Amino acid sequence: MPTTSAIELKKALFRGRDWITTQEWTDAEIEVLLDVSADLKRKFRGRIPHRYLPDETLFLMFFDKSTRTRNSFEAGMTQLGGHAHFLTADAMQVSHGESPKDTGIILSSYGHGIAIRHDLIPGEGNAYMREVAQWASVPVINMQCDVDHPCQTLADLMTIREMRGRNLRGLKVAVSWAYAPSYAKPLSVPQGLIMLLPRFGMDVMLAHPPEYRLMPETLSAAHENARRGGGSFREVPGMDEAFLHADVVVPKSWGCLESMGSNPAESLRIAKQYTDWICDTDLMKLARPDVLYMHPLPADRGNEVTDEVIDGANSVVYAEAENRLHTAKAILALTMADAAVEYEAHA
């Protein structure tokens, strides 16, 4: 049985914490999140009640569309015994210029957590979340910003560990741009992956056309995290080099850093030069036979990836998507209430 001091330590570590980027959380803290995610997954599948947030309220502020993120947080809060309010910018006074300060203070007085998705304009989303967090008296959760998608990358890490074990040292991961004509997608997923995965000993290779570079600060963080975590990080010019002997591949589209905020159509125009950046069966043959194909979804079928790959035996996209629920619940349970941290197995 855990001692009182051990439980109190957990409370001190997690209660009231913001989840804005994985960079602010230590490896040990992320390990606890993963352990709690696994425990909540076991309880969910076994239909074991786990109402760790009874009568608590979470405000979900969306500046962009969502399927997995919205539903994982809404379902997760219900399963934890609380309630989530879905809010869009056009339905809030934010659209009329209400300040992050006022929003943070007022919503804090009405509930127990604030979750925000603000991801399409470089330089805005992360800064907005941090300003809300400065004034909020409850945890602020990043549901995706311009810099990081820490809920998705935590679920990705959980999925890789389920498939490949806890010791991931030396696992080769290819994070690659891929062509998509639908819309200019945020940079935050590849940025989040290159920052998080090297911390756990993985060797990450990033491939993209020259116009689709990532934010310099995230590249610097990836190199430093690789140095500290014993993994590696390297940029390569093409998909073939990244996929060669890869254990995990994550090919997805993102927009041009320079034009995402001012002219997203420019990202799509430039992308037409690179329609051959597609994950197909020939490309997958360069990777290891048991390679994991991952994608945060929605994938542009026939552009980013062929049906044969995303529906094939190496695809784990649905397991990955399911883990969005369990990791979201772990983040909420550990940050929003005292009772949530009293997991005896993790104390």
pLDDT digits (tens, 9 = 90+) for 158-184: 999 999 999 999 999 999 999 999 888
Residues 184 and 286 in one domain: yes
CA dist 191 and 206 (Å) reads 10
CA dist 329 and 270 (Å) reads 39
**Which tokens is 235 given?**
């940029």
Residues 302 and 267 in one domain: yes
Going by C-alpha positions, the residue among 106, 88, 19 that lies closest to residue 329 is 19
Residues 168 and 305 in one domain: yes
Going by C-alpha positions, the residue among 281, 315, 283, 279 that lies closest to residue 300 is 279
| CB atoms closer than 10 angstroms to residue 217 | 12
Confidence of residue 338 (pLDDT cuts 50, 70, 90): low
Confidence of residue 10 (pLDDT cuts 50, 70, 90): low
Three-state secondary-structure class, residue 19: strand
127-148 average pLDDT score: 97
Residues 216 and 335 in one domain: no
Residues 122 and 229 in one domain: no
Confidence of residue 98 (pLDDT cuts 50, 70, 90): confident
Residues 77 and 214 in one domain: no
Q: What is the pLDDT of residue 5?
A: 38
Exposure string (b/e) for 20-30, b if CB count within 10 Å is 16 or more? bbbbebeeeeb
Exposure string (b/e) for 322-346, b if CB count within 10 Å is 16 or more? bbbbbbbbbbbbbbbbeebbebeeb
192-218 average pLDDT score: 97
Q: What is the pLDDT of residue 12?
A: 57
Residues 23 and 69 in one domain: yes
Residues 167 and 296 in one domain: yes
Q: What is the pLDDT of residue 4?
A: 38
Strands of 31-177, DSSP E: 57-62, 83-88, 113-118, 140-145, 172-177
In the chain, what percentage of residues exceed pLDDT 70? Answer: 93
268-284 average pLDDT score: 96
DSSP codes joined into one string, 91-130: GSGGGGT--HHHHHHHHHHH-SEEEEEE-SSTTTHHHHHH
Residues 182 and 271 in one domain: yes
**Which tokens is 325 given?**
């629920």
Total domain count, the chain: 2
Residues 106 and 161 in one domain: no
Residues 197 and 261 in one domain: yes
Q: What is the pLDDT of residue 260?
A: 85
230-238 average pLDDT score: 96
Phi, psi dihedrals of residue 100, rounded to the nearest 5°: -55, -35
| CATH code for the domain in which residue 27 is found | 3.40.50.1370
> How many angstroms from the chain centroid is the CA of residue 14?
19
CA dist 206 and 20 (Å) reads 23
* β-bridge mates for residue 113, sequence order: 58
Instruction: Tell me the residue range of the domain where 248 lies.
Output: 151-320
Residues 338 and 303 in one domain: no
pLDDT of residue 345 exceeding 80: no
24-42 average pLDDT score: 95
pLDDT of residue 342 exceeding 60: no
Phi, psi dihedrals of residue 105, rounded to the nearest 5°: -65, -45
